[in-house]
Amino acid sequence: MAEKSYAAEARYTNFYAGSDIAWSEDGQLLYCLNGDVVNQVDVKTSQVLHSFGANVSKSNNDQAKTRQEDVDVDEDNIYCFALSREHLVAAHGSGLLRLWELSTQKLIKLWKSQHKGPVVCIEFSPAGKLICTTGGADATIRLWDFANNSCLCALKDYPGPALLLRFHPSPLKSEIFAVGSDNTIYCWNYETKALLHKMRGHISQVTGLSFQTTDSGCQLASVSRDKVLIVWQLDLEAKQLKVIPLYEELEGVSHITNGAQLLVACGSGKLLQLDTKTWKMKDLLTTTDFQISRLLYCHKEEQLTLVTTEQNMIIYNVKTSEKEAVNLELFKQLVGYNDEILDMCFLGDNDRYLAVATNSKHFKVYDTEQNMNCRLICGHSDIVMSLAASHHLLISVGKDCSIHLWKLSHTSDEDSLLQPLIQQNNCHTATIGCVAFTHHGATGFASACQDGSMKVWQLTRDKQERNNYAFSLRYAALAHDKEVNCVTYALNNKILATASQDKTAKIWTADSNVLLGVLRGHTRGVWCVRFSPVDQIVLTSSSDCSLRIWSIANFSCLKRMEQECTILRVEFLDHGKFILSAASDGLLKLWNIKTNLCVQSIDEHSDRVWSIAVSACSNRFFYTGGADSKLIRFADITDTVRNEALDQRQAMLQQEQTLQSLLHAQQQLEKAFMLALTLNKPKASYDIICHFVKKRDAAAVHQLVDQLNMDQRLSLLQHVKAWGTNSRHSYIANLVLQHLLGDALLNTEHKLYNNGNLVEVLTPYVQRHFKRVSELSKDLAFMEFIVKCM
How far apart (Å, rounded) are the C-alpha atoms in residues 531 and 508? 13
Final residue before a domain boundary, out of 573, 597, 627: 573
pLDDT at 135: 85
Of the candidates 242, 257, 289, which is a domain's last residue?
Answer: 242
Amino acid at the residue 295: L
Report the chain's mean pLDDT, rounded to a whole number.
Answer: 85
- The identity of residue 647, as a single letter, is D
Q: Which residue, 342, 368, 339, is CA-closest to 356?
A: 342
Task: Report residue 45: phi and psi, to 5°.
Answer: -100, -10
For the full predicted model, state whether its pTM sits above 0.85: no
Same domain, 367 and 229: no
Residue 329 falls within a domain, yes or no? no
Among 287-291, 311-315, 391-395, 430-434, name the one with the lowest average pLDDT. Answer: 287-291
Q: Let me know how many helices (H) and strands (E) the chain has, helices first.
A: 9, 56
Do 374 and 498 belong to one domain?
yes
Q: Sheet with 21-23: list strands edge to edge.
A: 21-23, 29-34, 37-42, 48-53
Q: Where are the beta strands (DSSP E) in 462-525?
A: 469-478, 484-489, 495-500, 504-509, 515-520
Residue 540 contacts residue 525 (beta carbons within 8 Å): no
Structural domain for 697, as ranges? 667-780
pLDDT digits (tens, 9 = 90+) for 114-132: 888 889 999 999 989 999 9
Look at residue 184 and tell me if it is in a domain: yes
Q: What was the pLDDT predicted at 754?
A: 55
Residue 472: inside a domain: yes
How sure is the predictor about 71, in pLDDT bands with cuts at 50, 70 and 90?
very low
CATH at 484: 2.130.10.10
Of 240, 161, 261, 252, which Cα lies nearest the Cα of 206? 252
Quote the pLDDT of residue 676: 79
Q: Give yes or no for a contact between 189 and 196, defined as CB atoms under 8 angstroms apart.
A: yes
Say how far apart CA 399 and CA 396 lie, in whole Å.
11
| Single-letter amino acid, residue 456 | V
Quick one: 39 and 148 in the same domain? yes
* 538, 679: one domain: no
In degrees rounded to 5, what are phi and psi of residue 18?
105, 180
What is the CA angle 342-347-351, rounded to 5?
110
Q: Are 444 and 458 in contact (CB under 8 A)?
A: yes
Pair (567, 678) in one structural domain: no
Say if residues 33 and 16 touch (Cβ distance below 8 Å): yes
Whole-angstrom Cα distance, residue 527 to residue 484? Answer: 8
Strands 312-320 and 271-275: unpaired
Reference 391, options 427, 415, 355; nearest CA is 355
- pLDDT at res. 627: 92
d(CA 497, CA 75): 50
Question: Residue 764 has what pLDDT?
Answer: 66
Q: Are 630 and 11 in contact (CB under 8 A)?
A: yes
> Residues 266, 249: contact at Cβ < 8 Å?
yes
- Mean pLDDT calculated for residue range 440-452: 89
Cα 754 to chain centroid, rounded: 38
Residues 146-173 have a mean pLDDT of 88
- Which pLDDT does position 252 carry in this prediction? 93
**Within a domain: residue 478?**
yes
More confident residue, 755 or 450: 450
29 within a domain of the structure (yes/no): yes
For residue 59, what is the enclosing H or E element?
helix 54-60
Residue 632 parent element (H or E): strand 631-636
pLDDT for 536 beyond 60: yes
pLDDT at 68: 39
Of 424-438, 542-556, 625-639, 707-721, the least confident: 707-721
In a domain, 319, yes or no: no
Can you say how many angstroms the Cα of residue 585 is from the centroid of all Cα atoms in its chain? 17
User: What is the separation, in whole angstroms, between the first and last Cα of the chain?
Assistant: 73
- Mean pLDDT computed over 751-780: 65
Mean pLDDT (whole number) for 357-370: 90
Helical ranges in 495-575 per DSSP H: none
Phi-psi domain of 300 (left: phi exceeds 0; alpha: psi -120 through 50; beta: other)? alpha
pLDDT confidence of residue 254: 93
What b-and-e string marks burial along 80-112, b requiring 16 or more CB atoms within 10 Å of the CB?
A: bbbbbeebbbbbbebbbbbbbebeebebebbbe
Number of structural domains the chain divides into: 3
pLDDT-above-70 percentage for the chain: 90
Q: Quick check: 571 pLDDT over 60?
A: yes
Burial of residue 335 (CB within 10 Å: 0-12, 13-18, 19+) is buried
Note the helical H segments in 247-328.
none
221 and 368 share one domain: no
**Per the domain annotation, does 304 fall within a domain?**
no
Select the more confidently predicted residue: 70 or 302. 302
Report the DSSP beta bridge partners of residue 520. Answer: 504
Residue 436 has pLDDT above 80, yes or no: yes
Q: Which amino acid is at 179?
A: V
Q: DSSP 3-state assignment of 153? A: strand
Cα–Cα distance, 552 to 531 (Å, whole number): 9
For residue range 1-29, list pLDDT tens digits in order: 457 888 998 888 889 988 899 999 999 99
d(CA 200, CA 188): 15
The answer to whether 644 and 627 have CB atoms below 8 angstroms apart is no
The arithmetic mean of pLDDT across residues 303-331, rounded, is 86
Other Cβ atoms within 10 Å of 59 Cβ, number: 11
Alpha carbon separation from 476 to 104, 399, 452, 513 (Å, rounded): 64, 19, 11, 7
Asked if the model's pLDDT at residue 725 lies above 80, the reply is no
Look at 145-149, 382-386, 689-693 and tell me which has the smallest mean pLDDT. 689-693
Choose the final residue of a domain: 184, 217, 242.
Answer: 242
Give the residue from 706, 107, 91 showing the smallest Cα distance to 99.
107
C-beta separation of 31 from 81 below 8 A: yes
Taking CA atoms, 527 is separated from 99, 647, 659, in Å, by: 49, 43, 57
Q: Are 510 and 494 in contact (CB under 8 A)?
A: yes
Structural domain contains residue 638:
no
